[in-house]
Every structure is written in structure tokens, then in C-alpha cells.
Amino acid sequence: MSAPTATSQTHAIGCSHCEDDAPAPTGARIRGSVTAVAAVLVALACVLSYVAVSPAWVSALFVTAALVGSIFPAQRALQGLRRRTLDINALMVIAVIGAVAIGEFEEAAMVVSLFAAAQWLEAQSIDRARKAIGQLLEASPVDVLIREAEGEHRIGIDVVPIGALMVVRPGEKLALDGLVQSGRSDVNQAPITGESLPVEKGEGDEVFAGTINGHGALVVVVTRRRTDTTLARIVRLVETAQSQRAPVQQFIERFAAWYTPAVVILAALVTTLPVLAAGQPLDVWLYRALVLLVVACPCALVISTPVSVVSALAGAARHGVLIKGGAHLERLAAVRVVAFDKTGTLTTGIFSLDAVIPLGAATEADAILTAAAVESHSEHPIAAAIVARAIADGATPAPASNVRALPGLGVEGVVGGSAIVCGTPRLFSERGWMTPGLEGLAASVTGKGLSPVLVARDGVAIGVLGLRDRPKADAAQVVTDLRRHENVHVAMITGDHDAPARAMASELNVEILKSQQLPQDKVAAVQSLRREFGAVAMVGDGVNDAPALAASDVGIAMGAMGSAVALEAADIALMADDLSKLRYAMRLSRATLDNIRVNVALSVALKVAFLVLAVAGVATLWMAVLADTGASALVVANAVRLRRFQ
């Protein structure tokens, strides 16, 4: 990933007042105490100025406070200069030197203390928004109870090998990914999926690090080492997500790049022009120029986007929606059409074999068993249904060899010396095996809303199978809501036959249908949708839909937990298999853009107002710093609301 890290990002902006890269803890502590010393000195000086102590002493205290407080800004200003950027620290240091030079000791000290306090406050709030994601996912146990032949004992999480038996007691958090070997329990997966109901887990089920075991005890075979768990992968993705800047943000950075030097030049003009041209007093205009410098830092503006984006990402993660960067969030808000994959996305992907038509000399059992022999090697959900039916009928499919998947078409292999092919009518047409009679039978199956699978032995059809898939319970509702409330077009892209696909599309209230699409055609389908309507979000299960996900403007993977491919391929991953989160994500993306607009407007308006006041000589230095801190605080407070967006 070429995007710079969060740290370099703030540097590029040239305003480290708003720096959100937390310094090392000790550095922060030193900075905190230096700030505190400066603040105490200021307070002391203030008190002393009321009791009759010689003004020289008070001034000395203020100057000391200003010097102490300036140490860190000066250090950062120098770092900035080395990178050839003039940041707020440089502006601050110039302002303090100037204030001391014109004898405004009290103001110099005040400005420095307020500035330090502002920096500290900001670092705290941004940090908190950022940690919200981390907290969600962290706190996995440090050691793991392992069962071995000689008994149970705890070992460090980092040294647990794959294949070890992990004992998970009721109420414990799972430390690693694995498969349940024995035991039954309800597992709360909310920390990763946002799903509120616990999921039943039993023998053979996959369980994930970071989830919380319910009432039963489980023995789990560890399948991934600590650094490879789904949880670890999510954490890594979230980290890179934060460095992916939204286009709005890049615009603001370009703006800041010319803005700071422009302000310095303006300040120089304010100092010199009235004095040279109109014989005005130097100290008055110098002071105004200094105020101008401090007022000018576009801190609130610069943090307006990242704070909103980070808050939104944190809120989304809590709902089990993993968004891999601000750019995707921004693009999602512009989406005009949502294209769904059918099988496994809008439908359950659990097929049932509802029609069997044997042909020629073949019997019903013959057709099913022959198909099951090759299908037992296929990953396709249709295959699972055919094999399940054969087993339910009490038969064991014969072994098959040379099995080959024909993506989007079917599967072929050799069984008992004969070449067996199972697949779509299209596949049979391509092979030249289609007859009018076979066509009619396929049509009768599709007429019932079933997906047809033709079975051939050595090029001769021996059966027509009809399989039914059911829509997910909330699919129709989600599609309708998206069309009605989010004002997007909804399309379905599927490799399935036209007739069953059309039946499903009308049942689900889908507007646009693209059927009989081979995996490679799905990319073209996405592109044609984009030409017709605008930005496309493609929703798929992420495995065979990967090319289409990549071709779309925003690729959204369903049920990404457990599927590394899906997690990697998509821009947005819905961790649980929950379609309704889609609408949440779209609403969140729009709310985030609105939030950013409010933040930008707010900070620009305050900035302009104070710039005018500064040049007019109404604003004082400490008012300037206070205004900037206030604007930043408002922006942060506004952005943090996104974390609780529902």
C-alpha cells in the first residue's frame, strides 16, 4: 500500500498543532509535565501580580513560563523547517518572540500555556476516537489452556502451534481461530460481526479469536497462529484503512500547502506596509501581525476530515462493517446502483433438489448418483444439495477422477470409465449435446422457478435436475428499502438461468437483472451498469465474485468472517451475513460526508471571522489561540457523534 501513514499525513499538512500521532508515552509524560510547569508559573505570576510584588519579578515569571512552554513548539518548528514546512509551531514561536520583544510578557506566557493545553486536549480526543476501533478488537487473552496427553496446562498465546487442542471454558474469550472438536456452546461473535445474537457452535464449526464463549465448554483444534487469525487480519486492515485518505482530505492538504506560506507573507505585509506607507506605530502593527499568525493556523479545518472518517470507521466496526478507508466511505456515498450476486448473497445458497427427470434407460437414482459422484468434488452450493440428496437416499456416490470445475457452467469428471458432465443448458449447447426434447425438459424445470442442471454420460443426457434456492428472510425488505429510502437502483447479477433468476428478481423487487453471466462476464455487467447509472457497489460473497468486486467502484463482501479471500478482496466487508448492514453502511457514508461538510464550514467561518478581527486589531493573542482551540474542539465533538450513528 503506497498511502503514507497517518503520521506523515499530518506532517504534510504543516500544522502539528493538530498532530494526532501520539508521541511515545514517556515523551507525552515529559511534555505533560513541562506544560504543567509552565501553567503553574503562569498561575503564580498572575497571583503575584495582584499582591504587591515588584513588577520585575512578575515579568520574570511570565518570561520563564513562556520560555519553558516554548521548548516543545520550538523543537517541532525546527523539525518542520527541516522538512521545509512552516507549521503552527513556527507561527507560535515567532509570535512568542515578538510578544516578548514588544514587552507583552503576560500575553506571551498565556499564549504558550493555552497552546500547550490545546495540543494536549486535541491529542487526547483524536486518540480516543482512534482507539475505539482497537479496543473493539483487542484484549485477546495472553495465554491459552492447552490439552495434551499428560494433562492441561497454560502456554503463551504466541507459541501455540496449529493443531493444538485449546480448552475454552464458559464465559472465556477465545484466543485463537479454530474448529470445534467437542462440546456445544453459544458463542457471542458481536465483537467482530456486530451481530447481537450468540451463534450456536458444535463439533466441526469454525470459531474465531476475539469472540466470547457462552454457557458450554469447548475443545477447539487451533487452525491459525496468532498473527494469522481473522482478528489479527482485521486489525491490520483497520490500521491500513486509517492511512487511506479520502479525496476530501487530499483537497484540504493541497489547500494547506499554499495557505501557510501565504499567511506568513500576509503577516510580513501587515507589519511593514502601514509603518512604511502611513507612518503608523510599529508595535501596534507588529502585534496585529502576530495575532494574525496565530489565528491563521487552519487546525480545525485540517482535522475536520480525518476525525470524522476515523469516528465513522470506528462506529462501523462496532456494527461488524469493516470499511477499509475513508476513500471507500466517500465513494459509497456517491453510489447510484447496488448490484447483488444472487447465490449466497441474496439467497441462502442452500439448495434443495426439487425435481429429478431421468432420461433414456437411466433411473431417478441413477441420475442423482452419477451427478453426485462428480459433484462431491465441487465447492458449488448446488453440488452440496445433489450430494446431500444421494446420501439421504442411502447411497454412496462412486469415486470420480479427473474432476474439473467449469466456473459458472458446471463440473465434469470420469466415473467408472465414463465421462460425466453436470451443468447448465448453455454448457450442453456449447458441447453440441442439446436436443429440442432436452431443451423442452429444461424449460419445464425453469418454468417451475428451479435452476436446471443437466447430467450427461459420454455425451448423452441421462437426467435433468431442478434445484431450488431460497431468498434470505430479509432480502426483499433490504432491496425495497435500498430502492425507496437510499434512492439507488438495485441490480442482480447471476450465472443462473434466466427463468429462475427472473422469478427470484421479481420476488425480491430487484429492478435490473443480468442473468447467465459467466464469472468473467460479471465484470462487463458491472461496467455496463456504471455507464448507464453511475457509480456501482457490487455485493458478493467475495470468492468467485472477486473480479466483479474489484471492477466495481465499491466492492462489498458478505459474511467475510472466516473467508480470507473475501476480507482481502473487498473495499467493505460485512463480517456477519447480514444484508441489512448494507443500508447502515450507505447511510453512514452519507452522514459522514455531511459531517465533514459541517466541520469544514464551521472551521472556515470561524477562521475568516478571526482573521478579520486580527487585522482590525480587535483580537488579542490569547483570544486567537482560544478561538482555534474552540473550533478544533467543536469539530472533534461533531465528528465523535458518528461513532454512535445507528
CB 624 within 8 Å of CB 614: yes
Q: Please tell me whether residue 410 binds ligand ADP under the rule CB under 6 A.
A: yes
Four-residue CA torsion sign, 273, 278, 282, 285: negative
- When the beta carbons of 311 and 378 are compared against ligand ADP, the nearer one is 378
Tell which one of 211, 271, 311, 343 touches Mg ion (CB under 5 A). 343
Q: Which does 412 bind (CB under 5 to 8 A by kind): ligand ADP, Mg ion, none?
A: none
CA dist 215 and 197 (Å) reads 14
Active site members: 341
- When the beta carbons of 283 and 511 are compared against ligand ADP, the nearer one is 511
Q: Which does 267 bind (CB under 5 to 8 A by kind): ligand ADP, Mg ion, none?
A: none
Q: Please tell me whether residue 378 binds ligand ADP under the rule CB under 6 A.
A: yes
Q: Which does 314 bind (CB under 5 to 8 A by kind): Mg ion, ligand ADP, none?
A: none
Of the candidates 530, 577, 584, the one whose C-alpha atom is nearest the C-alpha of residue 554 is 530
Q: Please tell me whether residue 514 binds ligand ADP under the rule CB under 6 A.
A: no
Q: Please tell me whether residue 383 binds ligand ADP under the rule CB under 6 A.
A: yes
CB 566 within 8 Å of CB 541: yes
Number of residues that bind ligand ADP (CB under 6 A): 22
Provide DSSP, 533-560: HS-EEEEE-SSTTHHHHHHSSEEEESS-
- When the beta carbons of 309 and 548 are compared against ligand ADP, the nearer one is 548
Q: Please tell me whether residue 463 binds ligand ADP under the rule CB under 6 A.
A: no
Residue 599's identity, in one-letter code, is N
**510 phi and psi, to 5 degrees?**
-80, 140
CB 69 within 8 Å of CB 31: no
- When the beta carbons of 344 and 463 are compared against Mg ion, the nearer one is 344
Residue in the shown chain whose Cβ atom is closest to ligand ADP: 495
Q: Which does 289 bind (CB under 5 to 8 A by kind): ligand ADP, Mg ion, none?
A: none
Determine the interface stretch with ligand ADP among 149-157, 306-314, 341-349, 361-369 (rule: CB under 6 A). Answer: 341-349
Tell which one of 302, 453, 482, 554 touches ligand ADP (CB under 6 A). 453
Determine the interface stretch with Mg ion among 344-352, 478-486, 610-618, 632-640 (rule: CB under 5 A). Answer: 344-352
CB 398 within 8 Å of CB 371: no
**80 phi and psi, to 5 degrees?**
-65, -45
Q: Please tell me whether residue 252 binds ligand ADP under the rule CB under 6 A.
A: no
Of the candidates 553, 548, 643, 545, the one whose C-alpha atom is nearest the C-alpha of residue 332 is 553
Reduced to 3 states (helix: H, G, I; strand: E, B; else coil), residue 110 is: helix
Of the candidates 89, 88, 90, 112, the one whose C-alpha atom is nearest the C-alpha of residue 99 is 112
Tell which one of 19, 330, 341, 578 touches Mg ion (CB under 5 A). 341
State the SS3 of 430-470: HHCCCCHHHHHHHHHHHHCCCEEEEEEECCEEEEEEEEECC
Determine the interface stretch with ligand ADP among 210-218, 235-243, 419-427, 617-625 (rule: CB under 6 A). Answer: 419-427
Q: Please tell me whether residue 539 binds ligand ADP under the rule CB under 6 A.
A: no
- CB of residue 549 to Mg ion, shortest distance in Å: 11
- CB of residue 345 to ligand ADP, shortest distance in Å: 8
Q: Please tell me whether residue 412 binds ligand ADP under the rule CB under 6 A.
A: no
Place of cell 471492477: 551
Q: Which does 290 bind (CB under 5 to 8 A by kind): ligand ADP, Mg ion, none?
A: none
Q: Cα dihedral angle (514, 518, 520, 524), rounded to 10 degrees?
A: -20
CB 450 within 8 Å of CB 351: no
Q: Which does 383 bind (CB under 5 to 8 A by kind): Mg ion, ligand ADP, none?
A: ligand ADP
Residues of this chain that interact with Mg ion (CB under 5 A) are 341, 343-344
Residues of this chain that interact with ligand ADP (CB under 6 A) are 341-343, 375, 378, 380, 382-383, 408-411, 422-424, 451, 453, 494-496, 519, 544
